[in-house]
Amino acid sequence: MTTELLTERHGQVLVLTLSGPATRNAMTAQVYAAGTEALHAAEANADIRCIVLTGAGGHFCAGRDIQQMAGHRARGIHQEAEQLDAYHRWIEDLVSFPKPVLAAVEGVTAGSGVSLMLACDLVVASESTRCISAYGHLGLTPDGGLSWQIAHRLPRGEALKWLWGQAEHGAKQLHQWGLVQDVVPAGQALSSALQQAEQLSLSPPELLASTKELLRAATTQPLPAQLHLEKHHFMVHLSRPEAGQALARFMGRKGV
């Protein structure tokens, strides 16, 4: 049975669950299509303020379906190229999604599953988490933006050592590297991520979206351009009623 992408609402939070315990939630074309569709629907729905992505059966995601990949290679690799394009569209949609996306990670995360995890804005990982590159073991190179993610977030030597090797990295090491933001006891990743998502849902959605856009832009443009973009967003939000209310509350606390 292939992995499904299940959806469930928790107030203003949409939970997306990779469900294919027999393969540790390995991803297939159905998952990419469902993921892209879910994000587009969630972006258009003002009642959804945050997304939490998680896996069923005590694991996050073992990557893309290796059996399916091998079949594509045998029949003609153009089929795999189409699958990879669909997966990469979902990754791009996750990274550019204007609302907060949190990953709730338990157990094994391997290969493309690591890429998926790092495409999220914040990662809550339990102490049971084990992340494995796995690409070298399969004679393959990274996909899903993993090389981009760790090149921006790890020293070159650490990045190469991880991608070349097959070592497992636990949540504490990933937290030290800044790839995981919170480490929680085993079994509590989803509840912790939901709690954080619910808290973020209280913030003005336009403010959260602007902050995400600023951080994305900061990785590709020089300081003068970034300052110009910061000015634009700052002035837009200063004119919003939420800023007026927040400033009034702050001034009131100061007794001014």
Question: What domains can you pick out in the chain, each with its CATH number?
Answer: 4-200 (3.90.226.10), 205-254 (1.10.12.10)
CA-to-CA separations, 240 to 140, 158, 213, in angstroms, rounded: 49, 44, 18
User: Considering the entire predicted model, what is its pTM?
Assistant: 0.93
Q: What is the pLDDT of residue 254?
A: 57
- DSSP secondary structure, 65-131, as one string: -HHHHHHHHHH-THHHHHHHHHHHHHHHHHHH-SS-EEEEE-SEEETHHHHHHHTSSEEEEETT-EE
* Beta-strand runs (E) in the chain: 4-10, 13-19, 50-55, 101-105, 108-110, 122-126, 130-132, 168-170, 182-184
Give which of 93, 111, 139 is closest to 27, Cα–Cα. 111
> What pairing do the DSSP bridges indicate for beta strands 4-10 and 13-19?
antiparallel
Chain-centre distance for alpha carbon 43: 15
Amino acid at site 82: E
Contact between 189 and 126 (Cβ < 8 Å)? yes
Task: Encode the chain (256 residues) as per-residue pLDDT tens digits.
Answer: 689 999 999 999 999 999 998 999 999 899 999 999 999 999 999 999 999 999 999 999 999 987 877 777 777 778 888 889 999 999 999 999 999 999 999 999 999 999 999 999 999 999 999 999 888 888 888 999 999 999 999 999 999 998 888 778 999 999 999 999 999 999 999 999 999 999 999 999 999 999 999 999 998 899 999 999 999 999 999 999 999 999 999 988 754 4
Q: What is the pLDDT of residue 134?
A: 83
Measured at the CA of 16, the angle between CA 145 and CA 41, to 5 degrees, comes to 90
Those residues whose C-beta lies under 8 Å from the C-beta of residue 43, and which sit 6 or more positions away, are: 97, 98, 99
- Rg of the chain over all Cα atoms, to the nearest angstrom: 19
Measured at the CA of 56, the angle between CA 51 and CA 61, to 5 degrees, comes to 80
